[in-house]
A and B are shown apart, each in its own frame.
Chain A
Amino acid sequence: MGAIFRPYSPSDSLQSDRSSGDRQRHREKLREVLKGNIADVISEQSIIGRGPDSIVKVPIRGIKEYRFVYGQNQPRVAQGNGESEQGQKVGKAEGSGNPEDGQAGNMPGEDYYETDVSLEELVEIMFEDLELPDLESRPLRAIEAEYTHKRSGTKRVGIRAHLDKKKTAKSRIKRRFVKQKIENARSQGALAEDEEEETQRFPFNQKDFRYHRHKPDIRYESNAVVLCIMDTSGSMNVMKKYLARCFFFLLYQFVRLKYRQTELVFIAHDTVAKEVNEDDFFHKGESGGTMISSGYQKALDIIQDRFDPSLWNVYAFHCSDGDNFQEDIPKTMELAGKLCENCNLFGYGEIKPTGSIAWGTPMLEKYDDFKASNFATICITSKADVWPKFKAFLSREREKSTSVETDPLGWG
C-alpha cells in the first residue's frame, strides 16, 4: 500500500498564507510596544535627517510569552568537539554578550525584532497619541494652491469639445414639441398631413446646441514655513548639536504632517549666519564665536524676501547653548521681538547637557523677562528630554489655540 501524494498546486499556495491574520495581530502588538518607547527610537542618531520615504530599521523588544521556566546559567550538559577538557571555556554566559541560542525555545532571552518602518509611519505613530494643536489658525494666510475648472451650468455658444450632448438633445425635443403644437393649432382637422410630417426628419439646429459652462475652481491652502535656526559655534559640542538636531527633526516632521506645503529654511549661525541645505544643517559642524542676532537678522531677511507673513504661517525656532556675546544681547532681544511679530510662533530652545559648563549668562534667563504671547522657551538637558519637552512645547501651543479659538460653527 503506497502513500498518497498531494501534488503542489500554485493556486493553493496563493491561498495558503494562513498565518497572515496572526502576523497582523502580532504586528499590532509590536506597534503598541513601539509606541511605548518611541522616545528612545526617535532620538537614535540614524533616523535624524532622513527623507520621509526612507526605511528605518527599528529594534523592538519582542513580546514575551511568559511561562514558568528555570533560570539561566544553571549547570547544563552539552556536546564538545571531541577534545573537551575540564576547566575549558566553552562560551559566554547569558546576559554578558551573545546569548546561547541552543535552547531558545524555553530559555528566556532578550529577543529584538528589527522592524522595517518607513519614516512616514514612524512619525505617524509618534503623533498618534498626541493631540495635535490647531496650528492652522490663520485662514487668511492661505494662498492659491490649485487652479482648476469645474462645470457649472450651460451656455449657448462654445467650442465643440464642450458640447453637452444630453442637454442639446433635450432642447431639440422641446423645440420639435413646440413646433408640432403650433402646427397642430394652425391646421386643425388636417390629420392626413400630420402623419406625413411624423416621418419627416427634424434636424438639429444651431439653437439647440448647449455647451458646458466652466467656472474657475480655486482651492486655497494654508502654507507654512519653518525657520530652523541653530547655533553652530565652537561651544556647541557634538552632544549639544545632536540634541538640537533631534528637536529640529521632530519639529520638521510635525509641521510636515500638518501642512501639505511646508517650506523649510535652515539657518546656521556662529558670528555670521548662513542659509544652508538640510543635509549640511543636520550633518555638518562649524566653529567660531556666537552672535545670535546674526541668525535672527538672517531669519528676518528671509521672511521679508520670500515669506510674506500675510500669506505664510511662519514658525521660527532657535536652538543654542545660550552663550552669546554680552554686547550682542540687546540687539538679540530687539530682533527676537521683531521675529515674534512676524511669526505664528517663535521658540527658543536651550541645550544644556547636564554637567556642561556654562559661559556667561545663558540666554534663557534673559528671555525670562521677554513677554510675547507667541514666544516659548524650553530647556533640553538630555537625550531622554527631547520627546517630553517637545510634547510639552506642543501642548502649550494647543492650550493657547483652543482657548482663543472656539469654533463658532460648532454651535450653529
Chain B
Amino acid sequence: MLRSYDVKDLEKWEALIYEKVEEYGLNCYPQEFEICDHVQMLGMMTYHGMPSHYPHWSFGKSFERTKTMYDYGVQGIPYEMVINSNPCIAGLMRDNSLCLQILTMAHVYGHNDFFKNNFTFSHTHADLIVARFKSHADRIRGYVEDPSIGEAAVEQILDAAHALSFQCRRNQAIKRRTPEQQINRAIEKEYENETTNPEKIREIERRFPVEPEENILLFIRDNNPRLSEWEKDLINIVHEEALYFQPQMETKIINEGWACYWHREIMNSLELPTDIHMEFLVRHNQVVRPIPGDLNPYNIGLNLWDRIEELEFGEARNHSADRQPDSVRDKMFEIREVDRDSSFIRRFMDRETMVKLDLFEAEVEHSDWVISKIADEKQWKTIRNLLVQSVGLGSIPVISIIDSDLEGARGLYLKHHYEGRELEAKYAEKTLEHVYRLWGRKVVLETKLKDNTTRYSFDDTGLSLTAEFSDESFPPYFIP
C-alpha cells in the first residue's frame, strides 16, 4: 500500500506535526530532516549518525555487519536515526511509505525534546557537537597522513582507547574533586578518628590517586609522561566521544518510551486518512511489541510512561480516542528531565507493570536458560533490582585505578568492584593488554573469580594470573 509522495507532502505533514508539538508543549531544538537512501542510512548508523567522524576499521566492521543483516533480512533498518545536536538532525529513508515518514517525524520530535531537556544530556554541548566531531575527524586524519605517525600507530592507540572508552565516571552531574581536594578530604577524615596516626597521613599524601579513579583513559593521559602529544590527543578524542554517547546508553528505555508515547499521541490527534491510520496501527504495534526472551526498550519504556500517566490521572485512558489530560503533563515533563533508565525503573516499575510486561529473571541451568523468578509478591523487587543493575552503564563493570606506583615501579593497579557478576576472563585479559599498551608499564587487575580474589597482571613478559583462595575448601594446587 505505497503512496507516492514528495518533499512537499512531507513538509505539509511536518507542519501539522509541529503544530501538535507546540500544542503539547514539547520543547525542541530546531529540527532538520535528511532524506537518504538505505546505503546512506547504513552509513549514518555506522557512524552513530554523525555527519563526519574519524576513520577506524571497527566502523567498517559494523557497517559490514549491519549491511549483511539488512541484505539477508535478519534485521530491518530502523525507521529513524536521530542525533543529539542543535539543530537536531534526523534521517528519513526515502523508500519508506508516507505513513512511516509521518510516524518517524513524530517520533523524532519526542527524542528531540528528550535530548534538549533531560539532565544527563546537559553536558553534551549539543550546539557544538557536529563541528567537534568534524574537528576530531580532521585531526585524526592528519595524524594518519603524518609520515612520522601513520595509520598503524594511530590504529594501535585507537584500538586501546576504544577498549577503555566507557571506563569512566558514571554520573557527570557530580562534581569531580581535584587531587588536592581529595588529599585534604582524606586527611580530614583521618583527623576525625579518635587516634590520629601520623604514619597514615603521610601515606595518604604519598598515595596516588587518593580516591579510586574511574576515568582510566584520562588518568593515563595525565600521568603517563611517555605519551606524545598526538597520543594524548587521540585518547582525549575517544574519551570525549564516549562521554557524548554515555547519556544515550543511560536513557535508552526512558528515551524510546518517551518518543513512542509522543508519536502515538501526535499520530492519534492528527486526522490521518484511513489507509495511513491503519498502517500506523500495524507499524506502531510492531515497534512496541514485547520480544520474548529479550527486552524491548520501546515496549518497556512506553508501558512505564503509560503507568505514570495512569497513576497521575487516576485511570487508564483509551489512547486512540481520548487526548492526553492536561493534569498529567507537568509531572511527566518533570520526570523526563530528572530521570535516567536506572532511576526511572527503580521509581516507576511496580508489580502490576511487571506482570503486564511479563518480566522474569532467568538463570543458566546446565546449558539452558531457565526462569528462576517471576513477578510474584515475594520476588518482583529482586527482579526490578536486577533490571536496574543491568540497564544503561550497569552493563559495564566498574573498574577503577587504586594505585599508580605499584611495587615502587610506576605499575598501575586496577580494581574491579565486584558485586556478584564476574568479568569475562578472555575479554579482561585482552583489555588489560590494551591498558598495558597505553600505560607502558606493568598493569594489574584485581577481580573475583568463583569468589576468589584473582589478579591478572600484564607486563613485558606477558600475562600472568594469580589467585588467592578465600576458603580452605580449595587447596592451592586445585587451580581450575
- Residues in chain A within 8 A of chain B (CB atoms): 1-8, 12-13, 16-19, 21-29, 62-93, 95-97, 100, 102-103, 106, 108, 111, 113
Contact = CB atoms under 8 A, between A and B. Distances in A.
26 contacts: A3-B14, A3-B31, A4-B31, A5-B32, A8-B94, A16-B43, A17-B39, A18-B43, A19-B42, A19-B60, A22-B60, A29-B57, A66-B427, A68-B399, A69-B396, A74-B422, A75-B361, A78-B295, A78-B360, A79-B292, A79-B293, A80-B360, A86-B371, A87-B370, A87-B371, A108-B426
Contact of A93 (B357, B359, B367, B430): B367
Interface stretch (B162-170, B186-194, B201-209, B227-235): B162-170
Contacts of B33: 3-6
A90 B369 contact: yes
A33 to B, nearest CB: 12
A27 B294 CA distance: 32
Contacts of B11: 2, 5
Q: Is chain A's binding surface mostly helix, strand, loop or mixed?
A: loop
Contacts of A69: 395-397, 423-424, 427
Contact of A71 (B39, B47, B56, B421): B421
Contacts of B63: 19, 22-23
Interface in B7-59: 7, 10-11, 14-15, 18, 30-37, 39-40, 42-43, 46-47, 55-59
Kindly list the 6 A-B residue pairs having the minimum CB-CB distance in the complex, ordered from nearest. A26-B60, A22-B60, A102-B294, A23-B60, A66-B430, A3-B31
A67 B390 contact: no
A3 B18 contact: yes
A325 to B, nearest CB: 53
Nearest to A88: B371
Contacts of A21: 55, 60
A260 B362 CA distance: 62
A76 B167 contact: no
B361 A67 contact: no
B358 A70 contact: no
Interface in B121-165: 151, 155, 159, 162-164
B14 A2 contact: yes
B47 A19 contact: yes
A67 to B, nearest CB: 5
Range class of the B interface residue count: 35 or more
Given A84-B371, A93-B368, A74 B421 contact: yes
A168 to B, nearest CB: 55
A46 to B, nearest CB: 20
B64 interface: yes
Contacts of B386: 75-77
A17 B36 CA distance: 12
A6 B424 CA distance: 45
Interface in B320-363: 357-363
A19 B63 CA distance: 7
A112 to B, nearest CB: 11
B387 interface: yes
Contacts of A108: 424, 426-427
Contacts of B359: 77-80
Contact of A65 (B162, B293, B300, B373): B162
Given A23-B60, A89-B371, A91-B369, 17 more contacts: A2-B18, A3-B30, A8-B37, A18-B43, A19-B46, A25-B57, A26-B57, A68-B431, A69-B396, A69-B423, A70-B421, A71-B424, A77-B360, A77-B387, A79-B359, A86-B374, A87-B371
A116 to B, nearest CB: 11
B278 interface: no
A88 B426 CA distance: 31
Interface of B: 7, 10-11, 14-15, 18, 30-37, 39-40, 42-43, 46-47, 55-61, 63-65, 87, 94, 105, 151, 155, 159, 162-164, 166-167, 290-296, 299-300, 357-364, 367-374, 383, 386-387, 390, 395-397, 399, 416, 421-428, 430-431, 433-434
A82 to B, nearest CB: 5
A103 B390 CA distance: 11
Contacts, number: 242
Contacts of B167: 68
B64 A68 contact: no
Nearest to B19: A2
Contacts of B293: 78-80, 90-91, 100, 102
A13 B37 contact: yes
A374 B363 CA distance: 65
A28 to B, nearest CB: 8
A102 B395 CA distance: 13
A185 B471 CA distance: 126
A92 B387 CA distance: 21
Contacts of B430: 64, 66
Contacts of A80: 290, 292-293, 358-360, 371
Given A76-B390, A90-B293, A7 B7 contact: yes
A86 B365 CA distance: 13
Contacts of B64: 23, 26, 113
Nearest to B430: A66
Nearest to B291: A79
A69 B399 CA distance: 11
B395 to A, nearest CB: 5
Given A4-B33, A23-B64, A16 B431 contact: no
A108 B372 CA distance: 23
Nearest to A64: B430
Contacts of B87: 4
A183 to B, nearest CB: 70
A16 B45 CA distance: 13
